[in-house]
């Protein structure tokens, strides 16, 4: 993988004030460009410096900035495994300079020692208090980046209240490294005014038609929570396979990400599920009966979801009616919750059709919940329970056979 210096990279590198704010749309290379700049600073330092890279949580960093940071260094043959402290998430360059990574939810880090440079990734998901704690302890400069889905503390507390702020707006047009397919995918959404303004052009706006608005992020699954189901949405080459664990707790439900990965075989999917819990009922996309049957042969208790006229819309309404929490490590579920939208027509009118793209984990959630709650007609529920009992009996029979052989 090659990381090119594009127009947006040069624009970001030209910022000179202490607060260097980068507001941008999708695929604008804002995060990659900032990381490239910070790496170059660290490599060229005459005396050792410390740079902190912060996002809302460590899971977000691992699947975002840390992954990108490693890929950039490896692509240019700079990466040295011995220079990376895995436990502390610190990389030490030959210059002696260091880049560290930590989550804004690590409160001891917020009030820790001083640093030379700071990058807050997806700053709109980090609190103003966290920004202030970090910025006041930063000597040289602070990078911020975000998608402008709505106003946040930068707009109300920083932009017009300080004279040491540089703000630039970038979008996909300044990223010459994009392939034609990605460009076409972005430009096909021009008729969706809210989406196009925010993600296409990188302008401040409000994305219309968010499907899920009332949900919360929690640190971890409480000990008292009870695992009820797992939902499974199949993918392979272009789409990820998504597996979500559904817990019942205190009158609501907790979602926990088990898997979000492309290229998995049915055997690998079965192994992941069995590694989590061998007894839990898995409800999968019924459009893949062959895969469901194969996975069941590996010992997974699995059934297909029930689909019919308006089942997607009704399933969404069912989920909307529940109190939902998501564990903070469930990065892809959180991302989909924030970006799952109803389609809009050319005039911006919201339609009752969900937009495809940010729906892999959320489809898995829908399969699990609709099998659990009294949304399904009794006849269908009885068929599901019969299928569940057949699978359990078959697994017990197979287990007995193995015991006899041994």
Q: Are 97 and 42 in contact (CB under 8 A)?
A: yes
CB 135 within 8 A of CB 118: yes
Per-residue pLDDT of the chain (406 residues; tens, 9 = 90+): 557 899 999 999 999 999 999 999 999 999 999 999 999 999 999 999 999 999 999 999 999 999 999 999 999 999 999 999 999 999 999 999 999 999 999 989 998 899 999 999 999 999 999 999 999 999 999 999 999 988 999 999 999 999 999 999 999 999 999 999 999 999 988 887 778 999 999 999 767 788 998 899 999 999 999 999 999 999 998 899 999 999 999 999 999 999 999 999 999 999 999 998 778 999 999 999 999 999 999 999 999 998 877 888 889 999 999 999 999 999 999 999 988 988 877 666 778 888 888 899 999 999 999 998 854 445 455 555 555 555 555 555 554 444 433 3
Q: Which pLDDT score, from 0 to 100, does residue 27 have?
A: 96
CA distance 10 to 175: 11
Q: Is the whole model's pTM more than 0.85, yes or no? A: no
Q: Quick one: which of 373, 377, 336, 337 has its CA closest to 253?
A: 373
Q: What residues contact 138, with CB distance under 8 A and at least 6 apart?
A: 52, 114, 115, 116, 117, 118
Please check whether residue 81 is in contact with residue 71, taking contact to mean a CB–CB distance below 8 angstroms. no
Neighbours of 157 (CB within 10 A): 13
Amino acid 3: pLDDT: 77
State the architecture of 215-405 in CATH terms: 2-Layer Sandwich (3.30)
**Nearest to 255, CA basis, from 364, 347, 176, 355:** 364
Q: Give the pLDDT of residue 392.
A: 54
3-state SS class at 22: strand
Q: Are strands 241-249 and 302-304 parallel, antiparallel or unpaired?
A: unpaired
CATH of domain 7-200: 3.40.50.300
pLDDT at 400: 44
| Conformational region of residue 350, where left means phi above 0, alpha means psi within -120 to 50, and beta covers everything else | beta
Residues in the chain: 406
7-200 with 215-405: one CATH topology? no
Gap between the Cα atoms of 29 and 24, Å rounded: 9
Q: Which two tokens stand for residue 74?
A: 């490896």
Q: Domain boundaries in the chain?
A: 7-200, 215-405
Tally of CB atoms within 10 A around 81: 7
């Amino acid at each position: 993988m090659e990381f090119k210096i594009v127009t947006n990279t040069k624009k970001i590198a030209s910022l000179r004030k202490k607060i260097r704010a980068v507001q941008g749309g999708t695929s604008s290379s804002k995060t990659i460009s900032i990381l490239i700049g910070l790496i170059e600073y660290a490599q060229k330092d005459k005396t050792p410096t410390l740079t902190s890279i912060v996002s809302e949580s460590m899971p977000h960093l691992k699947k975002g900035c840390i992954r990108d940071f490693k890929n950039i260094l490896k692509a240019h043959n700079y990466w040295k495994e011995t220079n990376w402290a895995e436990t502390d998430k610190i990389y030490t360059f030959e210059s002696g300079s260091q880049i560290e990574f930590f989550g804004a939810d690590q409160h001891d880090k917020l009030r820790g020692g001083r640093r030379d440079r700071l990058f807050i990734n997806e700053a709109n998901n980090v609190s103003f208090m966290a920004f202030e704690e970090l910025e006041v302890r930063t000597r040289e400069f602070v990078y911020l980046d975000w998608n402008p889905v709505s106003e946040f503390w930068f707009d109300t507390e920083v932009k017009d209240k300080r004279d040491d702020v540089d703000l630039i707006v970038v979008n996909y047009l300044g990223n010459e490294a994009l392939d034609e397919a990605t460009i076409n995918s972005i430009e096909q959404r021009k008729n969706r005014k809210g989406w196009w303004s925010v993600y296409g052009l990188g302008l401040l706006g409000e994305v219309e038609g968010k499907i899920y608005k009332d949900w919360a992020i929690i640190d971890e699954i409480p000990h008292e929570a009870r695992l009820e189901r797992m939902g499974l949405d199949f993918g392979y080459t272009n789409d990820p396979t998504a597996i979500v664990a559904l817990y019942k707790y205190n009158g609501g439900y907790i979602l926990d990400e088990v898997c979000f990965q492309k290229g998995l075989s049915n055997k690998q999917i079965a192994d992941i599920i069995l590694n989590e819990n061998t007894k839990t009922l898995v409800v999968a996309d019924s459009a893949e009966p062959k895969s469901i049957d194969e996975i069941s042969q590996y010992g997974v208790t699995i059934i297909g979801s029930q689909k019919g006229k308006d089942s997607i819309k009704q399933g969404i309404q069912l989920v909307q009616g529940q109190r939902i929490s998501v564990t903070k490590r469930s990065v892809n579920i959180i991302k989909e919750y924030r970006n799952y939208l109803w389609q809009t027509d050319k005039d911006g009118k919201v339609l009752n059709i969900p937009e495809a793209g940010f729906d892999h984990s959320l489809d898995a959630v829908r399969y699990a919940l609709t099998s659990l709650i009294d949304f399904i007609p009794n006849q269908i529920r009885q068929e599901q329970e019969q299928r569940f009992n057949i699978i359990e009996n078959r697994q017990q029979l197979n287990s007995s056979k193995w015991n006899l052989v041994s």
